[in-house]
Amino acid sequence: MFNTVFWILAIWFVINVIWMWFRFDNQKLQKTFAWINVCAIIIGFCVYYMAEPLCW
């Protein structure tokens, strides 16, 4: 599960950077993507710390 979530988040951030680069002037879109990124980072940390005991 950790690897799956990691790759989904990694692909999301790449798509996000490319998308925001082409839509640099749209402030509402950037704010929406910023909040999605905050949620994605929180989900990533939760998955990492939940998977950590299983890795040892």
Query: What are the pLDDT tens digits along the chain (56 aa)?
Result: 667 878 888 888 888 888 878 877 888 888 888 898 898 888 888 877 776 665 55
Buried b (16+ CB within 10 A) or exposed e, 2-27: eeebeeebeeeeeeeeeeeeeeeeee
- At 45, which amino acid appears? F
Q: Which residue has the tokens 């710390």?
A: 49
CA 52/CA 56 separation, integer angstroms = 7
Q: pTM above 0.75?
A: no
